[in-house]
A and B are shown apart, each in its own frame.
Chain A
């Protein structure tokens, strides 16, 4: 391509960069319109029990998505092992209930933090590709889980009932929702108002500049992944308490739902932009759409398909919106 062609190409890109703000707003309006239309036209959607069901579904995915957001903001794309981390920590929680509820919660969170931190060290210290590392970690987590549990489901000890409080609604609202909102506020403050948080944003925006500014890349990356592991372990505790039957089946589609929630909230997959509070909105939206599809008795396939479409459209819109450097 000749020089004038290159500059013409750049002008075109810049023009593209301006239009999509409109496109993005239009797309958001369209989505909002669809959701409202769906809400009004779907039978049984606007009922108290259904709204509670949406909130319950939001809690688990949302808590994991908070962690996913930290990884995305730090510029490390996303983790493909958070679903497995949730399942493994849920299994561990149910197993360690034999000590005591408090100890089980603390140990589970520590375990999740460690699982995340180790992946963070690998990615941060050596610049290893986060996607591949987390795919490998997912495989390792599955292997360890089957090995240690001998392939059996993990049931809570017979005499333990304390954990059931975590699965019971509080004041009519699922307990997980409180955890979700409190955690969202805490992590949002952590990322906005602390030195670690601002360094995370900076590193995500420009890793080279962060290195040049002598930011502790390894430490920040480890922190972001450890935060993701911690959030996921908190979700793991709630998931374990709710299902009371721990196995790798709990992995479900948490990984992809969390990525979708963070992306839909507008957190950039390339890092540096986004926020936990936006992810909260994204998680609610994803849960609402899933719920609507479920009420209209669409199959699992359609649900996965729709989530995929949402991810694709959001990624493309965000990609176009990004200004050329």
Chain B
């Protein structure tokens, strides 16, 4: 293969990769729009409103997580920062909802600063550090909530936040969408986007090129904690209750959304617009599942399956492997990998 062929191939691959999030979104929109024509279920304006409400609940978490992945890291603690943000807001916002939000954001800044500084200074893998962070924040949520659901007596706040605007939006979803627009502009038109992707692509080269890598990493983790705490706080106001749970649903949803939104786990690739497309696709999927009254496990299966599938598609050695088994078995490629990896890409479980 000539170099030109290779370059052309990479470009085609890149274009496919860039377009994938939007293609998935188009498919999802079509499925939802055409649902009434091939089934007995009706789709109304209220369903569109619900899609944006789903977007409001988890969109910013996906954006935050996506930013850390772009920067070559991973923040496992977002799911408990989300819970802690809600718990802090509910506990401190009894008289003033705004004060509660600011308290939650303040806690998030501290969490982000600590995690980011530890990861940058000690140059350790962010997964185990944020796993420790996940447990600590989860523990804190239980402790300050006395291991119980805490209700928020100021119901009016939640009603205001969720009041339909132009039929399909609410304050909550407009806040999320607005912050996505801000992030898209910031990452596209300032140096920030390029710098974050640069440290994700090659942290050492970026350092040599004069980027303040440590500061950027700290900033990314602060943004990540903020992106988890804000929707967590708003959701708990809207539900008028904060509950400590140990589930990883928030993490699963946001990781899947970010990855189908075109963020690469190798770092250095992704955009807020792509992530928004990923979140919208999953939000539509959830709404469609709820319209057809699918049991809750279907959502777990589809989200888990999508997550594994996207991870495989984006896996660094997939193309190498396809070459190995598809054409010739070269000596320098895993000689024993043949028979057993020839299985179809099973979705990660043998429970069936």
Contacts and interface: CB of A to CB of B under 8 A. Distances in A.
Given A148-B351, A312-B133, A301 B304 contact: no
A138 B297 CA distance: 12
Interface in A41-68: none
Q: Is the interface of B mostly helix, strand, loop or mixed?
A: helix
A118 interface: yes
Interface in B297-352: 297-301, 303-308, 311-312, 314-318, 321, 331-332, 334-337, 340-341, 343, 345-352
Contact of B345 (A78, A122, A263): A122
A99 interface: no
B207 A1 contact: yes
Contacts of B123: 319
A77 B332 CA distance: 26
B351 A136 contact: no
A194 interface: no
Interface stretch (A22-30, A171-179, A183-191, A214-222): A214-222
B124 A308 contact: no
Contacts of A320: 122
Contact of A126 (B124, B321, B336, B340): B321
A140 B350 CA distance: 10
Contact of B351 (A115, A222, A253, A299): A115
Nearest to B301: A143
A44 to B, nearest CB: 23
B350 A308 contact: no
B61 interface: no
Contacts of B349: 115, 118-119, 137, 140-141, 144
Contacts of A111: 350-351
B147 interface: yes
B140 interface: yes
B19 to A, nearest CB: 22
B308 A131 contact: no
Contacts of A319: 122-125
B259 interface: yes
A47 to B, nearest CB: 27
Interface string B127-138: 111011111111
B167 interface: no
Interface string A261-286: 00100000110000000000000000
Contact of B128 (A132, A148, A269): A269
A114 interface: yes
A140 B128 contact: no
Nearest to A140: B304
A143 B305 CA distance: 10
A151 B301 CA distance: 14
Interface stretch (B217-225, B248-256, B272-280, B284-292): B248-256
Given A77-B125, A140-B347, A146-B297, A1 B210 contact: yes
A95 B300 CA distance: 22
A163 interface: no
B142 A300 contact: yes
A138 B256 CA distance: 13
B137 to A, nearest CB: 8
B98 interface: no
A96 interface: no
Nearest to B298: A143
Interface in B178-234: 207-208, 210
A309 B114 CA distance: 13
A81 B289 CA distance: 25
Contacts of B131: 78, 256, 259, 311
Given A301-B142, A316-B118, A122 B127 contact: no
7 contacts: A128-B312, A129-B311, A136-B304, A140-B308, A222-B340, A269-B125, A301-B244
Given A128-B314, A142-B297, A315-B132, 9 more contacts: A1-B210, A118-B350, A132-B307, A142-B300, A219-B340, A301-B141, A308-B137, A309-B132, A316-B124
Q: What 7 A-B pairs come out closest when comparing CB atoms?
A: A305-B139, A301-B142, A308-B135, A139-B304, A312-B132, A319-B124, A127-B317
Interface of A: 1, 6, 77-78, 80, 88, 92, 111, 114-115, 117-119, 121-122, 124-129, 131-133, 135-148, 151, 211, 214, 216-219, 222, 253, 256, 259, 263, 269-270, 299-313, 315-316, 318-320
